[in-house]
Amino acid sequence: MPELERWLALQIAGVYHLSVHSALEKTPLRAWQDGVARRKQALRHPVSAEEFFQDFLPAKPRLIQRDGIHFHKIRYWDNVLSPWAGRLKKPLLVKYDPRNLSRVYVRDPNGKHWPVPYADLRQPPIALWELEEARKRLREQGKSDPAERALFANIMEQRRLVKEAVSQSQQRRRKERIPLDEIRPMAAEPAKTDRPRDELQPFPVEIWERE
């Protein structure tokens, strides 16, 4: 969810790292910078940003079948799979990004990762949660084992419905807004009294004198 990811990034990078920590008595960013400055050796960075990213992805073992990889009812294929397709008896580790299932990463017997896209490149990128929700909706319709096309069709229909609902909500809010040129300041009404101001008399008071 992009909105959640942006919010989380802002909270961590823009709020937490720039706020004074009670135990450190400084911001986490300053503590990091001070720690780096005290190091005698330079920081080591990952050799490959892509490999570093893939190291943290969830993974599932999958056999490489003759027609490719079947993962969450979606078929993936790339020519890199040809030497293993239907020949390799041992499953390979398939890593995936839950935010974008348009490709998976197959780790070969030597430990190298290979990106493998959808077999049907016409299909759009989808998130794992969208796929699970589509499967749930189709099960409720009596389709216990939906095919790939049915899953994608259900996801796209749900996206269309959400987009349409958001558009209608925005149009309704625009209609409900009052144009600024129609807003008129309300004149203050004079205070109402039972008798003219000149006839108002003060309340009687008692004057106490010290004996």
pLDDT tens per residue, range 68-88: 999 999 999 999 999 999 998
* Residue 34 pLDDT level (bands cut at 50, 70, 90): confident
Q: What are phi and psi of 141, to 5 degrees?
A: -90, 5
The residue with tokens 């959640």 is: 4
Any domain includes 7: no
Any domain includes 77: yes
Mean local confidence (pLDDT), 4-23: 75
Any domain includes 192: no
Considering its fold, how many domains does the chain have in total? 2
Tell me, yes or no, whether 57 and 84 share the same domain: yes
Any domain includes 38: no
Angle at which helices 128-140 and 148-176 cross, to 10°: 100
Any domain includes 80: yes
Domain limits for position 116: 49-125
115 CB neighbour count, 10 Å cutoff: 15
Tell me, yes or no, whether 89 and 102 share the same domain: yes
Any domain includes 152: yes
Any domain includes 13: no
Tell me, yes or no, whether 111 and 81 share the same domain: yes
Tell me, yes or no, whether 74 and 88 share the same domain: yes
Any domain includes 111: yes
Q: Is the pLDDT of residue 157 over 70?
A: yes
In the chain, the percentage of residues whose pLDDT exceeds 90 is 44
Tell me, yes or no, whether 109 and 53 share the same domain: yes
d(CA 34, CA 36): 5
pTM value > 0.85: no
Which amino acid, residue 154?
N
Tell me, what DSSP letter sits at residue 27?
-
Q: What is the 3-state secondary structure (H, E, C) of 107-143?
A: ECCCCCEEEEEECCCCCCCCCHHHHHHHHHHHHHCCC
- Say if residues 114 and 100 touch (Cβ distance below 8 Å): no
Tell me, yes or no, whether 69 and 120 share the same domain: yes
What pLDDT is attached to residue 149? 94
Instruction: Classify strands 92-97 and 74-76 as parallel, antiparallel or unpaired.
Output: unpaired
